[in-house]
Structure 1
């Protein structure tokens, strides 16, 4: 085969002559460089497919010079701008150097929000194990693995707390006290204002009542109370007009965590009915006119010491009862102020907290009563000494059943030996049962040993029991039914009085400030004394303003 070396040398010589002719003709440097770049080097005819050859093939075609055929301007045309942005060739470049493309890094995030910590999902083994053991929820110290964790959900919206009594008064702040005052005006009809057996005459009447409850807002110590006063004005029977009032103020001083001083002040204002056996004038043809007042004032002071669950209390009491003289129909005066007396008492109590809802207690008490004038109008010396004891418990069997009940015995002996001892069982208590959120039943029982000025009678024992049922038809409409029975028995004489009461009340709360009220009361007294029985029907409609 003939040798290829002479042929190769001929080709290289022809290429050199061709390039020299182009330079002599005035070809632009850049175009010549591109042609030169595309020319294979010595020993390489572009047949290997190397990188230089590939770059040459990828380069865009070069525009012909202005002096070449197809050009119109004999002056060389400038290099197009887009040629400068092309990627540089790795082949030798003898023209103007090209700019390299600027490389940009990853985009930076300004103030990135951190991801929330991971928490185990509810079906993770760790969570299920904690639930089986009854322990607190799992809170991982280190982030759990992705297989048992998820991004926590946003916290649920807080539910609004419903007010159980949206129409109750909110009160006002007076210094360190929260005070809830009220005033009420009523108009109604009473079928028997005098509570008499004969000569009964009904009358329309109006009633005004005002009062206030208050409660301290201290972290230590306590002061609270409830005050009330009212007046009834009868349009057709002014002799039946009467006031009534009562109040109590309790105070507690916390000397230490386990030592407390208890204080209490109280008062009552009430009246006696003209037909009462206590108001027998003893004058033929004379009768009591109007309703004589009875005033009661008293106070209590004592100390309570707590030893873990055991509490011991010792209280002293002072009370005074004063009677207003009665006016008789013949113009004379019945002296009732001779029956005024003071009572001084001492009361001790021990209680033990078995559970917060069951606290039994034992209580012992004693007192002496001293009258201002002895003997009384009937010739008896009524100074006396009394003592008694009782046991009971306060309880709270769930929120539906709460209260306190006690049972005991009391004995009272008199300085005048002609008067029999006044003795008998004592039952006191209050039981509140709420079968539903809308219905409340309240059962109360009370026993009291009272003074009298009836000749031959030592005193009277009154036992009272009442049942009250309240039901809320709506959040602002409440119906209340009341039934009570009281038995008053006099020791030493044959005198017994039984009183029956039935009542129905309705309250319609227009707002927290205004309450529309209506009530009906039926009262019947049956006595062993002739001419003392009576029946009374009372209707009332009023408006209450409270704050």
Structure 2
């Protein structure tokens, strides 16, 4: 009887030991993930986690705060593997380091149904000094700006609205206030996997620049320019061939100008409607290189058949260009195109206005946190001067943005605009150079401190040059 009793006691002890180990393992399976999440949720702390599992080969630490700690060697192999998997950080599919989210730390915006609204309100104090020939004037003013974006969060299709408005109020000195507003909306319809349609609408308001060749010399305040835009386009991907066709409509109206002698000058003879049909065809040599051809034809009709000087300003427009679209990821992308553009006026006395066009936009990121933009733009600007059809303008832009720290961003911008008039025109060619620098310090995700300084100079072949210097500091509130 004694040997049989002894064997029963040993079997019972072994069964108790197995059940104890199984019970401890089950408890730790449920406690382990919670402990791991609690640890990762408090980075930088060395406080021990209840239920944490010591690494293999490391003895368990027993003190009043870590009672019940269990060494990994005390667990069955299967449970040991499960604990390592639960406590290990999730890796990317390709094993590379996770990219930094460029939107991290920014205001998340307001959710309105299936839309996300991101508004920003800014208030800036500025001082400006303008010099035109031998005369100069200065002013100090407050500038209030409101901008934002509204984007849909749909599984298919997308609606986006982007807007910005600026009001200026002079505090001291003399100088023309420059209010402006701009809003654009686009609805993308995903008709099929290869076909998409885009519907666009927009509005812009600005006051004509006093340095513009079409500006009125003795005006108290330059003309208010309103621009209304509508557009529709369809894009089709046919394997290696990509094509698009678009139709755009634009209406521009000009407000009356108050002169310094107390009279008012109407600008209604400049109001016009313009429609443009554009087609584009591209061929995919590779996912990164797509050469393309683009052509457009348009018609501009003025509200008044003849302007105050007796000229018929309505015209037909023709343009063609060829270029290359490049997409090498976030490091380098954009497109560059060369072509020719011309306006053919109804009045033979004005002749034709046209010339070589160079257009493009290139984004380059030499290193993370630094973005460089190069822009080229060619556009024709009709004139209001007798016997002068207008000018062809070339604009070169460069903007460099560098993240000095996670909350401090520096911006450097430069642009050069060349205004070329036909040789027979009486107007003089112009060159305008602008440069500026700014700093933005994000004090929090909702509040930022900004500072800017800029300088602009316009040189004319005939007549005096002009200079404008501006310094400003302000706050931006984001949501």
TM-score range for the pair, normalised by the shorter chain length:
0.7 to 0.9
Q: How far 1:241 moved relative to its partner? A: 1.8
Checking the alignment, whether the CA contact within 8 Å between 2:139 and 2:174 is kept in structure 1 is: no
Residue 373 of structure 1 aligns to a residue whose secondary structure is coil
Checking the alignment, whether the CA contact within 8 Å between 2:215 and 2:222 is kept in structure 1 is: no
1:180 is matched with 118
Distance in structure 1 (CA, Å) of the matches to 2:316 and 2:165? 33
Checking the alignment, whether the CA contact within 8 Å between 1:196 and 1:275 is kept in structure 2 is: no
Q: How far 1:318 moved relative to its partner? A: 0.6
Larger Rg: 1
> What whole-Å deviation, never above 9, does each CA across 1:421-479 have from its counterpart, x for those lacking one?
11111111111111111322211111111221111111211110011222211111111
1:234 is matched with 170
> What whole-Å deviation, never above 9, does each CA across 1:55-93 have from its counterpart, x for those lacking one?
xxxxxxxxxxxxxxxxxxxxxxxxxxxxxx9x79xxxxx
Checking the alignment, whether the CA contact within 8 Å between 2:138 and 2:175 is kept in structure 1 is: no
2:208 is matched with 272
> What whole-Å deviation, never above 9, does each CA across 1:161-214 have from its counterpart, x for those lacking one?
75444343322211221111101000010012xx64453211111100001112
Indicate how the Cα distance of structure 1 residues 267 and 197 shifts in structure 2: closer, same or farther if over 3 A, else same: farther
Indicate how the Cα distance of structure 1 residues 518 and 103 shifts in structure 2: closer, same or farther if over 3 A, else same: closer
Whether 2:333 is the aligned partner of 1:402: answer yes
Query: Could you state the TM-score of these two structures normalised by the residue count of structure 2?
Result: 0.80
Whether 2:379 is the aligned partner of 1:440: answer no
Distance in structure 2 (CA, Å) of the matches to 1:276 and 1:206? 24
Whether 2:118 is the aligned partner of 1:199: answer no
Distance in structure 1 (CA, Å) of the matches to 2:115 and 2:102? 23
Checking the alignment, whether the CA contact within 8 Å between 2:431 and 2:460 is kept in structure 1 is: yes
Q: How far 1:296 moved relative to its partner? A: 0.8
- Runs of 4+ aligned structure 1 residues displaced above 6 Å come to none
2:438 is matched with 505
Distance in structure 2 (CA, Å) of the matches to 1:101 and 1:374? 120
**1:107-122, aligned counterparts within 5 Å?**
107=12, 108=15, 109-110=18-19
Give 2:286's match in structure 1, choosing from 350, 355, 364. 355
Checking the alignment, whether the CA contact within 8 Å between 2:296 and 2:318 is kept in structure 1 is: yes
Distance in structure 2 (CA, Å) of the matches to 1:231 and 1:251? 29
Structure 1 vs Structure 2 CA RMSD = 2.6
> What whole-Å deviation, never above 9, does each CA across 1:331-382 have from its counterpart, x for those lacking one?
1111112110000110111123333322222111010000001211222101
**1:93-132, aligned counterparts within 5 Å?**
104=8, 106-107=11-12, 108=15, 109-110=18-19
> What whole-Å deviation, never above 9, does each CA across 1:374-426 have from its counterpart, x for those lacking one?
21122210110011111222212243111122211112211111112111111
Indicate how the Cα distance of structure 1 residues 377 and 183 shifts in structure 2: closer, same or farther if over 3 A, else same: same
Unpaired segments ≥5 residues, structure 2: 26-77, 92-97
Distance in structure 2 (CA, Å) of the matches to 1:231 and 1:351? 42
Indicate how the Cα distance of structure 1 residues 157 and 455 shifts in structure 2: closer, same or farther if over 3 A, else same: same
Query: Could you state the TM-score of these two structures normalised by the residue count of structure 1?
Result: 0.70
Distance in structure 1 (CA, Å) of the matches to 2:104 and 2:6? 73
Q: How far 1:237 moved relative to its partner? A: 4.6
Distance in structure 2 (CA, Å) of the matches to 1:161 and 1:360? 31
Indicate how the Cα distance of structure 1 residues 452 and 207 shifts in structure 2: closer, same or farther if over 3 A, else same: same
1:158 is matched with 90
Checking the alignment, whether the CA contact within 8 Å between 1:239 and 1:290 is kept in structure 2 is: no
Indicate how the Cα distance of structure 1 residues 202 and 310 shifts in structure 2: closer, same or farther if over 3 A, else same: same
